[in-house]
Chains A and B, each alone.
Chain A
Amino acid sequence: MNLPENLRYTQSHEWTRVDGDIATVGITDFAQNELGDVVFVELPSPGRQLRQDDIFGSIESVKAVSDLISPVSGEVVEVNDSLTADPSLANQSPYDEAWMIKVRLETPSEIDGLMSADDYKGFVEE
């Protein structure tokens, strides 16, 4: 299981990468593997205000559909249109090409409450 050390993780299998006041959000390698072939991703429009734990979209595989849950609060400033055009990126490149949204952090301390790579590894192996 690929779990980059520099990311933070949620129990609903999103990852977050922080650069200054921007948080980039996607789903983990574990999540894409559990879903199987991803065929559809629905993302919000830029400008949408999110609170932590808001549903910001959905992801569907042949077999399942799953909500996407925001790890942080803030405004969506950018959305990955390449991913909605080619949802299979979520399987091929979950931490890189398949990033989903960029959020301008409103409450940076929320990051501290997210799991480290080690904590998340322990969580999914439970």
Chain B
Amino acid sequence: MSEQADLKRTPLWDAHRRLGARMVPFGGWDMPVQYATGILAEAKAVRTTAGLFDVSHMGRLEVHGPTAREALESLTPNVIGKLALKKGHYTLFLNERGGVIDDLIVYCQEPNLYKLIVNASNTEKDCAWIQSHLPAGSVLTNRTPDTALLALQGPLAVTIMAAAGAPEASEIRRFERVAVRLFNNPAWAMRTGYTGEDGFEIQCSATSAENLWNALLRVAGPNLVPCGLGARDVLRIEAAYPLYGHEIDDDCNPWEAGLGWVLKKTEGFIGAEALARLKESQARQLVGLTMETRSVARQGATVLAGDRPCGEVVSGTFSPNVNASIALAYVDRDVTDETLTVESGGRRQNAARTPLPFVDLPVARKKKPAGLTSTASL
């Protein structure tokens, strides 16, 4: 009990308890891992109707001032200068060795004001890192305590936004951040999420969070299921999205994690020199595995090619959408076997190498040709 006393609570903590959530410590926060529905039903709902997550534990930071752009340009490998107003992108903080300090989304709110969303467990580390590299003329503020962040994810997300009074949300583009009114209360809607489904992350004041959470559930009825961190983990593994502490960490480089696409610059940011050297010497690759049995391959389990240990599992779960146990594993770069073996607790099972992502993701589907959609938007 004493360790629980140190855990932070989001503005939705009471709402979770009222819904019968099972709470667990995560990144310093007391968070719902699942509701009465259960992880599998929650993860299924997000791919068939919609799910509502409390992600208020994630760090919401602000870098403000005339040097804010150059500060972030030197801290991240994606091109901050290309961000249009109200647009954001996925990027990384890298250390001098090219390792990943954290992954994050940066939005350009105003020319001198950038909004950052970082991992809960890394918020303090990130703040210290930014602060130590902040040029004169910029100020870093941690906005996490003043606000709440909800993720509304799933094929019915747009419909639910309309029912909440924001039909214009359907026009918000991926990684765009737009002011909306939901049930007549101001909020920011971002067309993002970490499930691979269409959806929104909604930022509102801490004081309005519980009303918004309850009103969304009420207006959507059975089409919107409250979802905990358990379902969030299942969904992000299905989508093969990296999570700090699993696929990425301070000793892993972006290419290994499949994040080479984030590296839009070759110089002018911390880590650039190391990356230039590392590019040719990647030792391992991230692969998807579908297990032969429903037994879950968990983080740390050994991967073998034949009888030769060749890597380890970094994330594993049972996927209700694939209806199989799936895993992400790092294996040696030269491994080409289609069937590998996973060993944990003295037990071995076969694992079939599987292309990533494990499920067909709406956000990754090819856009229709412009001619087909232009009439619909007018």
The answer to whether A and B belong to the same complex is yes
Scan residues 66-93 of chain A and give those whose CB is less than 8 A from a CB of chain B.
87, 91
How many residues of B are in contact with the other chain, CB < 8 A? 18
A62:B295 contact, CB within 8 angstroms: no
Contact call A40/B38, Cβ cutoff below 8 A: no
Q: Which of A39, A40, A62 has the most CB of B within 10 A?
A: A62
Query: Which residues A3-52 have CB closer than 8 A to chain B?
Result: 36-37, 39-40, 42
Chain B's closest residue to A62 (CB) is: B39
Given A62-B230, A63-B230, answer yes or no on A42-B39 (Cβ-Cβ < 8 Å): no
Q: Are A62 and B294 in contact (CB under 8 A)?
A: no
B224 within 8 A of A: no
Q: Which of B34, B38, B230, B295 contacts A60 (CB 8 A)?
A: B295
Majority DSSP secondary structure for residues of A touching B? mixed
Q: Is the CB of B40 within 8 A of A62?
A: yes
A62 touches B318 (CB 8 A): yes
The interface bits of chain B over 22-60 (1 if a CB of A lies within 8 angstroms of the residue's CB, else 0) are 100000000001100011110000000000000000000
A33 and chain B: residue at smallest CB distance: B22
Q: Are A65 and B39 in contact (CB under 8 A)?
A: no
Residues of A within 8 Å of B39, CB to CB, are 36-37, 62-63
Interface residues of B (CB under 8 A from A): 22, 33-34, 38-41, 230, 234, 293-296, 298, 317-318, 325, 345
The interface of chain A, by Cβ under 8 A from chain B, is 36-37, 39-40, 42, 60, 62-63, 65, 87, 91
A37-B40, A39-B40, A62-B317 known; 8 other A-B pairs, CB under 8 Å?
A: A37-B318, A39-B325, A40-B294, A40-B296, A40-B318, A60-B295, A63-B39, A87-B294
